[in-house]
Homo-oligomer: A and B are copies of this chain.
Amino acid sequence: MNDHQEEHLESAEWLRDIVIGMSDGLTVPFALAAGLSGAVQSTGIIIIAGIAEIAAGSIAMGLGGYLAGKTEIDHYNSELKREHEEVELVPEKEKEEVREFFQNLGLSEEVQQKAVEEIAQDKQKWVDFMMKHELGLEKPDPKRATKSALNIGLSYVIGGLVPLSPYFFIDTPVEALKISSLVTLLCLFTFGYFKSRMTGVHPWAGALKVMLIGAVAASAAFGVAKIFEG
Task: Report yes or no: A53 in contact with B2, Cβ–Cβ below 8 A.
Answer: no
The answer to whether B229 touches A48 (Cβ under 8 A) is yes
Copy count, this protein chain: 2
25 A/B residue pairs, CB under 8 Å, sorted by A: A4-B79, A5-B135, A28-B28, A30-B56, A31-B53, A31-B56, A32-B32, A32-B52, A35-B49, A35-B51, A35-B52, A36-B49, A51-B228, A53-B53, A55-B225, A59-B213, A60-B213, A64-B213, A71-B202, A75-B201, A105-B115, A106-B122, A107-B115, A110-B114, A111-B118
Known interface pairs A24-B60, A106-B118, A111-B118; A48-B36 also in contact (CB < 8 Å): yes
Q: CB distance B39 to A55 under 8 Å?
A: no
- The interface residues of chain B lying within 8 Å CB-to-CB of A223 are 55
Measured CB to CB, the closest approach of chain B to A41, in angstroms, equals 11
Main secondary structure of the interface of A (DSSP, over half): helix
Size bracket, chain A contacts: 35 or more
Q: Interface residues, chain A, CB within 8 Å of chain B?
A: 1-2, 4-5, 24, 27-28, 30-32, 34-36, 39-40, 45, 47-49, 51-53, 55-57, 59-60, 63-64, 67, 71, 74-75, 78-79, 82, 86, 90, 93-94, 97, 102, 105-108, 110-111, 114-115, 118-119, 122, 125, 129, 134-135, 196, 199-202, 206, 209, 212-214, 216-218, 220-225, 228-229
